[in-house]
Amino acid sequence: MLTAGQIVLICALGAVAALIIFMVVRTLLTKKKVIETAQFRPLNLDVDSIANNLSKAIQIPTITVISPEQSYEPFLEYHKFLEETYPLIFKNGEKTVINGYSLIIKLTGSDESLLPVAFLAHQDVVPAPKKGWEHEPFGGEIKDGFVHGRGSQDMKGQMIANLEAMEYLLSQGKELKRTVYFCFGHDEEYTGKDGAKQIVEYLYENNIRFECVYDEGGTVLDGKMLGIDGKIALIGTCEKGYVDYTLTSTISGGHAASPKRISAVDTLAEAVYMLRSIPMKAYWSQPVKDMFKDLAPHMKPLFKFIFVNRDILSPLLKLLLVKIHPVGASIMRTTFAFTQIKGSDAPNVIPPSATAVVNCRINIGQTQKDVEKHIKKVVGKNIKLDRLTEGYDPSPVSDITSEPYAKLKKSIVEVFPDFIPVPYPFIAATDAKHYYKICDNVFRFTPFELTPEDQKRIHALNERCDIDALATATQFYVRLIENTCM
C-alpha cells in the first residue's frame, strides 16, 4: 500500500509529465503563418541617378539647429534641391512649409472617402566633425559601392528612396487612389518639438487624420541568434519614453591634501553604482510578447519549444534575455545610462558639489513618474534629483491586426522574400511619436539591411549607404505605395 508521501510524489510527477506533454503538443501545433503576396519583379530603376541624388542631398549640411550661432540656410537650400530633383512630386503636390523649415507635401488621391497615408522623414542630421572620417562627411562621395557622408543612413537615404519611389510611379503614369502626405521635420535629432510636433498641430487644427503613418525605425537582424534561418525585420509598433535627470550631491569641499571621510564625489559615485545595480523590473510588455509569438514558429525545435512556452518558462527566459544581450535588456525594461559626470575643475580641489546626468529610456507600460520614484528610492535622500529635459512617456502601441500593418508586412516580404516581419518596441526615438494625436496606426520600419559594421556608423564616423541597398529600399517604397495607395 502506498504511503501518503508516495502518493504525493506520484501526483507531482504526473503533473510534471502532463505539463511537459502539454508544452510539447503546444509547440507542435504552432505553425508558420503564410502572408499572401503578389509577384513582384525588380524594377528597372536608374540606380546611378538615385545614388547621385543621395550624394547631392548629403552635400547640403542640414545639421540640427540648437544654438543661435547656427544657420537655417542649409534647410532652405535643401528645399530647393528637393523641388528641382523631384519635379513631378512638386508639380502634382501641394507644398506647405511649417514653422519656416519643416515640409508637408500633399498628393491628392482620387477617392476622398479614404483616409490618407503619411510617409515621414527628417531633414536634419547630427554634426560631423571632419577628424577621423575617411571621406569628407558632407562630401557625398560615391566610392566602392557606397554613398559616403553624414545622413546617408540617418535618414536622407530613406527619404531619398521614398521620394524616388513616388517620382518613379508618377513618371509611369500611375494614379493615386488614396491621398499621400510626405511630412519632413527639421529637428528630429532634437526632440522634433519645432518640426514634427508643429506639423501635427497644423494637421490636427485642419481636421486631417491619417489611416496610417510610416516612419524610420526598427532594424533587420540575423535570425541565427534565435535559431531562425533568415532575417528578422523588426517593425516598431511603439517607442519607449525618454527623460534625462541630473543627480547632484552637495557636501562641503576643500583641499585634496586633507580629504574628509566622505565627499560629494563619493556620495554621487555610490548613487551611480546603486542605480546601475538596482535597475527597474524587467517584464513582458505586449509588443515583446507579440514579437516572440510571431518569431516562435520560425525557430528551430529547441528555441521554438522555449519561446512557444514563454509564459511557463518566463522567469528563466526573461533572465537570459536581459543578461545575454544589451538589446534584450532594452526591450524588457527601462534603462539607465549615465552620460555626463562633473566634479571639480582642478585636480587638487575636492568639489563642494558633484553632478551626473542619467539618460532614461522608459519601458512600455511605465511612466516618467514611475522612473522618478524608482530613482529617488534607490539613490536616497542625500542626492538631489532634477529633471534636465522635458521628457515624454512611451507612445501608445499600434494595432498589429490592422490593415495597414498587414500591408506593410506584405510589402516587406514581396521585396525581401527571406525577411520575417515581426512587431517590437522601438528602443530609440522618432518623429512618429507625435503622430498618435492624428493616427492610430503608426509604424516604424527602415528598409535597409545593414552589416553589423555599418550599423555602428549611424551617428558615428564614416556613415555610409550601400547603393544596392538604396535601390532595394526604393523598390520597397514603390511596392508599399502601390499596396496602400493605389
* Residue 327 cell numbers, joined: 538589446
Q: Choose, from 154, 187, 188, 194, the residue flagged as catalytic.
A: 188
* Residue 482 cell numbers, joined: 502601390
Show the 3-state SS of the chain.
Answer: CCCHHHHHHHHHHHHHHHHHHHHHHHHHHCCCCCCCCCCCCCCCCCHHHHHHHHHHHHCCCCECCCCCCCCCHHHHHHHHHHHHHCHHHHHHCEEEEECCCEEEEEECCCCCCCCCEEEEEECCECCCCCCCCCCCCCCCCEECCEEECCCCCCCHHHHHHHHHHHHHHHHCCCCCCCCEEEEEECCHHHCCCCCHHHHHHHHHHCCCCCCEEEECCCCEEEHHHHCECCEEEEEEEEECEEEEEEEEEECCCEECCCCCCCCHHHHHHHHHHHHHHCCCCCCCCHHHHHHHHHHHHHECHHHHHHHHCCCCCHHHHHHHHHHHCHHHHHHHCCEEEEEEEECCCCCCEECCEEEEEEEEEECCCCCHHHHHHHHHHHHCCCCEEEECCCCECCCCCCCCCCHHHHHHHHHHHHHCCCEEEEEEEECCCCHHHHHHHCCCCEEECCCCCCCHHHHCCCCCCCCEEEHHHHHHHHHHHHHHHHHHHC
Distance (Å, whole) CA 176 – CA 173: 10
Q: Cβ atoms within 10 A of the Cβ of 209, count? A: 12
Question: In the beta sheet, which residues pair with residue 384?
Answer: 248
Q: Is 144 a catalytic residue?
A: no
Q: Do the Cβ atoms of 442 and 436 come closer than 8 Å?
A: yes
Q: Is 290 a catalytic residue?
A: no
Q: Choose, from 124, 154, 189, 215, the residue flagged as catalytic.
A: 124
Residues 6+ positions from 457 with CB-CB distance below 8 Å: 153, 463, 464
Please give the positions annotated as active site. 124, 188
